[in-house]
Structure 1
Amino acid sequence: MQPKERILHRSFIFILISMMLLSSGCQLRSRMPQNQPPTGAAQPLEEPIDAHPLSGKILSMVSGGAISREALFAKLRHSRFVLVGEKHDNPEHHQRELQLLQALQQGPQTRLVLEMLDEQQGKAINGLNSASSETQIQEQLHWNDHSWPWQDYGPLIGAALSHNNQLRAGNLSKPFLMQIYRSGVPDQPRLTTVGGISQTIRSTIQQQVYESHCRTMPLEQMGPMTDIQISRDASMAYALSEQLDKQMQAILITGAFHARKDTGVPQHLQKLTSDPVITILLTEVDNTIKTVQEAVKNNAGMADYIWFTSRSEEKDYCASLRQQPHKKEP
């Protein structure tokens, strides 16, 4: 490979990895516009005004029926681990997450793990406390508003700090992800569960990664990207469970792919702990699925609860990747 081609290839891979940090929670298509998210405290727990019959409903995958928010929150209080999967650019998802956190917070007995914080930022968290201003928090964490808009995740961080929750970084930094891409998964405590993922699950994840990256690389070349996805799941599971006191509850906010019971973080948690894990997927309504029965069938095995929301603004997530030149490794 010539020097110019190496630069183009590295540039393309960096774009793919950057997109991976966002695509794990983003569906490839959205159709309906949505209001801007709140930037401060949570709004009242009103149901979204939407013509879709499932909008605002919470479905239990165990019972196959709808439950109320209050009933959901009551069940969550008895689970050691609560995983919430979002679509990253849906404003209503951020509102629901903040409401959920506020309903479960128990001061220092609550650990909040965010996919939006990586291991480099994690080193700076100890310098923050309930007295830290919004500006101090952003500066301390070297917050990248382009990757993760502060208006979406700042309220979660602020709520955790103001209530003395234990805040943890769940993700891996881009330099670390590049290391995995080039050299494979390193032998580190937070990644010990990677090798325990079955080939069947790995193949499912590889297909997900292929689709979420808009088929810009051949499926058979997505192995390193699959390693990255599985490593990020392992890292979040480790952040949730490492030295978690028996009386504590850990809550994860992450993309929908990562929260899925059949392929994501729960697969790693079950190798680290036998404690109860509840997964909630915040899911945009779909005009092809309008009944509770259809929704339960369509989401079987993916989560314990599906919380339906309105749709976010339509975007073509693949447009930027289609425009990027890329070369194959020699």
Structure 2
Amino acid sequence: MQTPGLPVAAPGRGALAKAVLALGALAALAALTGCAANPAADTTADSARGWGRQIDALLPADVLLLGEQHDAPEHQRLQRDTVQRLAARGQLAAVVMEMAERGHGTTGLPTSATPAQAQAALQWNDAAWPWQAYGPVVMAAVQAGVPVLGGNLPRSTMRAAMQDTAWDAHLPTPALQRQYTALREGHCGLLPESQIAPMARIQMARDASMAQAVQGAMQPGKTVVLIAGAGHVHRSMGVPTHWPASVRAQVVVARAGASAPAPEPGDADTVLETAAAPARDACAELRQQWQAQPTPRPPADATRP
């Protein structure tokens, strides 16, 4: 990825740093994309109760994919409620999170483990993913004796993913073009066209990483909960494209407010509308960020969607 006004580097160390910076910037804008409308939305006051009923209607399932807006606190509260509800019934196999890298997890921690111990086990990056937001979700699982597993692509493998052109053939052309469009729009048109395909490869590799983590945690008769940005759970171009049709999955997309874009038909089984997130001009924030970084460096939140 490139800061506006700088030349585009050929794929390599510099290009990776710029693409990784773009991933971090996209994370800052993730709340503006990847969500959908629900014709029978719950209000903030009774969303937890209404969501509980929807969970019951979605099960049984091998996997329950919860797509969120990262800046919508109500989405993290609903995730915690989901974890607690399934764990209390003995139905929760594991929680897989985009917010930690694959290979790290809380397996083996006692139910009395502290938040600090859970963060250490997950190698949690608080600068990228505020523990204040996601800690209650993690600890609900830990205290129930259910493992929390990182699902994200390890940062050390991003360069290889960006340069692996085999990913270009993973999605059908219409879905791939939607992925490209999401990257362009998510960066307010500031991303150089030469970086679109490399960044899409990283996104697909991240989806594949999460899919592998989920499949490794599946147990007969139980459900794995995957928590990720809404765009990662879409059926047509996200995590579900990386596992066999035999996996029984239910996709839930949460939408904070009426202005969020809608997913393609069939991309979600359930859409949950919640209160709008605080208003912000994310494109202005992005422009300011890039202008302040004439020499792009990988940010702390580079693994966000």
> How does the TM-score come out when normalised to structure 1?
0.72
Alignment of 1:79-228 (within 5 A): 79-105=61-87, 106-107=89-90, 109-119=92-102, 122-123=103-104, 125-181=106-162, 183-184=163-164, 195-228=169-202
User: Quick one: which amino acid aligns to residue 152 of structure 2?
Assistant: N
3-state SS, counterpart of residue 262 of structure 1 = coil
Change (3 A) 1:115 1:326: same
Change (3 A) 1:185 1:167: farther
Distance 1:136 1:287, change over 3 A: closer
Q: Which residue of 2 aligns with 1:306?
A: 271
1:144-174 CA-to-partner distances (Å, cap 9, x unmatched) read 2110000111111111111111322110122
Overall identity of the aligned pairs, in %: 26
Contact conserved, 1:107 with 1:164, CA < 8 A, in 2? no
Task: Determine if contact 1:194/1:234 at 8 Å carries over to the other structure.
Answer: no
- Deviation of 1:115 after TM superposition, in Å, equals 0.5
Which ranges of structure 1 fall in alignment gaps of 5 or more residues? 30-45, 50-54, 59-67, 187-192, 290-294
Structure 1 residue aligned with 2:212, among 234, 238, 259? Answer: 238
Secondary structure of the residue that 1:242 maps to in structure 2?
helix
Change (3 A) 1:70 1:235: same
1:299 Cα deviation from its structure 2 partner:
5.8
Amino acid at match of 1:246: P
| C-alpha displacement of 1:19 | 2.9
Q: 1:244 to 1:303 in 2, by over 3 A?
A: same
Please name the residue that 1:19 is paired with.
Answer: 25
Q: Deviations for 1:177-208, whole angstroms, at most 9, x for unmatched residues?
A: 23322x3279xxxxxx9854222211111111
The answer as to whether partners of 1:108 and 1:165 remain within 8 angstroms in 2 is no
CA 1:179–1:92: 2 relative to 1, 3 Å: same
User: 1:75 maps to what in 2?
Assistant: 57
The offset of 1:275, in angstroms, is 3.1
- For residue 246 of structure 2, what is the aligned residue in structure 1? 274
Using the TM superposition, give the Cα deviation of residue 8 of structure 1 relative to its aligned residue in structure 2, in angstroms: 6.9
* Structure whose CA Rg is larger: 1
Give the counterpart letter for 1:89 in structure 2: D
The Cα of 1:248 is off from its aligned counterpart by 2.5
- Give the whole-Å Cα distance in 1 for the aligned partners of 2:33 and 2:165: 28
Q: Once the 2 structures are TM-superposed, how far is the Cα of residue 263 of structure 1 from its aligned partner?
A: 1.9
Q: Is 1:325 the counterpart of 2:294 in the alignment? A: yes
Q: How far apart are the structure 2 equivalents of 1:288 and 1:15?
A: 24
In 2 relative to 1, CA 127–78 (structure 1 residues): closer, same or farther, beyond 3 Å? closer
Identify if the C-alpha distance between structure 1 residues 288 and 91 changes in structure 2 by more than 3 Å, giving closer, same or farther.
Answer: closer
Q: Distance in 2 between matches of 1:315 and 1:76?
A: 33
Q: Which residue of 2 aligns with 1:33?
A: none
- When the two chains are superposed, the root-mean-square deviation of aligned CA atoms in Å is 3.3
- What is aligned with 2:280? 315
- Change beyond 3 A, Cα 1:127–1:275: closer
Relative to the length of structure 2, the TM-score reads: 0.78
8 A contact 2:151–2:209 mirrored in 1: yes
Residue identity in the other structure for 1:306: V
2:299 is aligned to none
